[in-house]
């Protein structure tokens, strides 16, 4: 019995619903593990031709759970901890293997995105083969604002080097129309049409020969490997270690310390406030 994921099968379509609506579907260890279970159930199932991933409640997902409770798989180890480099590298490898597994699932995957889609939530949406979003969706990866290294190499291939740097250096959020323009998602639709659009797409794909789909997907992903994606994953693992072992500069905002002292909400507020001008500029522009 799963507590943070709902998995249903309906007419050859496997629906995976991220189900922690009270936490805006923040991704913790439990959710990751259950997501794995749901995908592992869908992958060999001959009755499932295509998998759709969506979020329950107000949004797709706000990203990794930052509370620090049950999040050892999604957050870096505590600073000053005594884990060996080997252990740390293993943890990073586990993280990227998990992402690679989702990317290479032998069935087409569709992300149905509404509301916030940030950090690890955005990574998940990027890894799905096709991403459809409603106009109210917001995309971004604010990890660098917390001193965490964004760990998703797909950015470069989806939106190009200039936009990747713009997005990751600033941690800025963009709306769905802009996300479509830069190639982060396939299509943006009005909120009340989202469900219908994804259904139509999934049903259409579910009529295709399953063997053909699996090979077609593998062919396209193999092309990405040839373009260097495989090496990029490994490189990201190593860079994560470098980032984890750096020390905080004097006067630098320490997200995790602020969280422990003043609580998560205050820490998030303090993280994003300095960047409001970025936000205002975007709204004016």
Partner 1 sequence: MSLETVIVEKVDQVGKITLNRPEKLNAINDAMMRDLEAALDQMQQDPDIWVVVIKGAGEAFSVGQDLSGVGTSEVMPPQPRAKAYLGDMFETAMRNCLRWQAIFDFPRWTIAEVHGYCLGAGCDLAMACRMVMAAEDAVFGDPSIRMGLASPNPLWTWRVGLKKTKEMLFTGKYIDGREAERIGLVMKAIPPDKLEEETNLAAESCAKFGTIGGFDGQAGFWAFDRATYDLSGLSAAWRLASNLHTLSAIQRPGRSIIDRGEFDFYEVRDKRGLKAAIEARDAPFRKYFPQPKTPKENK
* Residues near partner 1 (CB under 8 A): 46, 108, 129-131, 154, 157-158, 183-187, 200-201, 203-205, 207-213, 215-220, 222-228
As a whole number of angstroms, the distance between CA 189 and CA 179 comes to: 12
User: Least distance in Å: CB of 171 to partner 1?
Assistant: 22
As a whole number of angstroms, the distance between CA 121 and CA 12 comes to: 25
Burial track 6-27 (b if 16+ CB lie within 10 A, e otherwise): ebeeeebbbbbbbbbeeebbbb
User: Least distance in Å: CB of 197 to partner 1?
Assistant: 10
| Minimum CB distance to partner 1 smaller for 131 or for 258 | 131
| Minimum CB distance to partner 1 smaller for 68 or for 210 | 210
| Minimum CB distance to partner 1 smaller for 193 or for 261 | 193
As a whole number of angstroms, the distance between CA 63 and CA 271 comes to: 15
User: Least distance in Å: CB of 68 to partner 1?
Assistant: 33
As a whole number of angstroms, the distance between CA 111 and CA 54 comes to: 6
User: Least distance in Å: CB of 79 to partner 1?
Assistant: 35
As a whole number of angstroms, the distance between CA 124 and CA 102 comes to: 8
Q: What are phi and psi of 123, to 5 degrees?
A: -55, -45
CA nearest neighbour of 28 among 275, 264, 267, 270: 264
Tokens of 16: 């995976």
Which residue pairs from 219-226 have beta carbons closer than 8 angstroms and sit at least 24 positions apart in sequence?
221/103, 221/104, 224/157
User: Least distance in Å: CB of 46 to partner 1?
Assistant: 6
| Minimum CB distance to partner 1 smaller for 226 or for 273 | 226
User: Least distance in Å: CB of 102 to partner 1?
Assistant: 14
User: Least distance in Å: CB of 161 to partner 1?
Assistant: 12
| Minimum CB distance to partner 1 smaller for 27 or for 198 | 198
| Minimum CB distance to partner 1 smaller for 39 or for 154 | 154
| Minimum CB distance to partner 1 smaller for 192 or for 211 | 211
Span between the terminal Cα atoms of the chain, in Å: 48
């Amino acid at each position: 019995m799963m507590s943070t994921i709902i998995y249903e099968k309906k007419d050859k379509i496997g629906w995976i619903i991220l189900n922690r609506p009270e936490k805006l579907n923040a991704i913790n260890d439990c959710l990751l593990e259950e997501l794995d279970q749901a995908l592992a159930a869908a992958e060999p199932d001959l009755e499932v031709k295509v998998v759709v991933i969506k979020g329950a409640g107000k949004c797709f997902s706000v990203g990794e759970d930052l509370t620090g409770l049950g999040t050892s798989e999604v957050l870096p180890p505590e600073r000053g901890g005594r884990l060996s480099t080997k252990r740390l590298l293993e943890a990073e490898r586990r993280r990227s293997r998990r992402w690679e597994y989702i990317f290479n699932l032998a069935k087409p995957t569709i992300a149905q995105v509404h509301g916030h889609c940030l950090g690890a939530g955005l990574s998940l949406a990027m890894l799905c083969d096709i991403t459809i979003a409603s106009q109210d969706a917001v995309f971004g990866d604010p990890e660098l604002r917390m001193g965490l290294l964004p760990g998703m190499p797909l950015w470069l291939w989806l939106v190009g080097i200039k936009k990747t740097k713009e997005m990751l250096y600033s941690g800025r959020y963009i709306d769905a129309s802009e996300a479509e323009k830069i190639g982060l998602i396939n299509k943006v639709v009005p909120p009340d049409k989202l469900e219908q659009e994804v259904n139509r797409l999934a049903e259409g794909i579910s009529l295709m020969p399953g063997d053909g789909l699996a090979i077609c997907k593998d062919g396209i992903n193999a092309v990405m490997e040839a373009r260097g994606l495989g090496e990029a994953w490994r490189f990201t693992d190593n860079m994560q270690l470098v980032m984890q072992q750096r020390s905080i500069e004097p006067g630098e905002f320490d997200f995790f310390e602020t969280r422990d002292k003043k609580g998560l909400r205050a820490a998030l507020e303090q993280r994003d406030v300095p960047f409001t001008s970025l936000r205002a500029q975007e709204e004016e522009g």
